[in-house]
Amino acid sequence: MNQQPICTLRELAAAVADGVKLVVPADACGVAMAATHELVRRGVRGLHLVCVPTSGLQADILIGAGAVATLETSAVTLGEFGPAHRFIDAVRNHRIRVLDSTCPAVHAALQAGQKGLPFIPLRGLIGSDLVARRDDWKVIDNPFQPGDPIVALPAINPDIALFHAPFADRSGNVYIGRKRELLTMAHASKQTFVTVEAITDRNLFDDPTMAAGVVPAIYVSRIALATNGAWPIGLPGHYGSDDAAISRYVQLAKTEDGFRSWVNEWLGEAAVPA
């Protein structure tokens, strides 16, 4: 456990080194958009981005900004707002390596990492073209039933888990509520970085009604205060998404020039890192 987990937002982002395997949650689970802003601002590069099990605006921005080398996910979409244009453009122009997956496969491989297993078997993949395209997935015989093939997935062991949560205490405990995939991410990762809406002086484990929804400080490396830190994506149960802001992003991100214009405005700077 980090003895002094509370830090500034810029300090948190600075600790995400180039080339790390970074795991992030889906939009409904608390996306650390304020931290994403700082990562883009400083020009992080070479990330292996793992989405649990999908991503949207966060992944599209990081890809468009040139921060992602490898993307492991079951989908990147902005849903009702439209396609993820920077993701699509990067795939078409071979600017990123994509490890295509399924939602159950992402969750299962992350659970293997959580449990310290080298791999985990999963049904439902035999017959899919994903098996042929994923050299790291192996079809093996069920050792307990010969002639029963099953796919073995290597564990996902991220360097850093990054997400946004409602609040934390000064000891480093983080409240996530019922978003249990965030706990799995923290367990599977070497470090966990969290931005929060508020920091409380009371110990979250002292309240039995909240304790079950807390990530213990032993799994949390850094915490930064970031009010409205999921904006323009919402934080379920606390505030909704800024639909107008997301729609504007989608329209501008259709072109490289439009995306650059949006990012420069977002950062409040004359130019983003090349």
Question: Is residue 100 scored above 70 in pLDDT?
Answer: yes
What is the separation of C-alpha 165 from the centre of its chain, rounded to a whole number of angstroms?
13
Question: Is residue 195 scored above 60 in pLDDT?
Answer: yes
The CATH class that applies to domain 6-118+155-263 reads: alpha beta
Query: For 154-176, what is each residue's pLDDT tens digit?
Result: 999 999 999 999 999 999 999 99
Query: For 101-116, what is each residue's pLDDT tens digit?
Result: 999 999 999 999 999 9
State residue 197 phi and psi, 5-degree precision. -75, -30
Residue with tokens 């992080």: 44
| Residue 27: both structure tokens together | 């939009």
Question: Is residue 2 scored above 80 in pLDDT?
Answer: no
Query: For 56-93, what is each residue's pLDDT tens digit?
Result: 999 999 999 999 999 999 999 999 999 999 999 999 99
Residue 171 burial (CB < 10 Å; 0-12/13-18/19+)? middle
Question: Is residue 269 scored above 70 in pLDDT?
Answer: no
Coil vs helix vs strand at 189:
coil
What does the DSSP assignment read for 118-176?
A: SEEEESS-TT-HHHHH-TT-EEEE-TTSTT-EEEEEEPP--SEEEEEEEEEETTS-EE-
Q: Which of the 8 DSSP states describes residue 201?
A: S
What was the pLDDT predicted at 4? Answer: 79
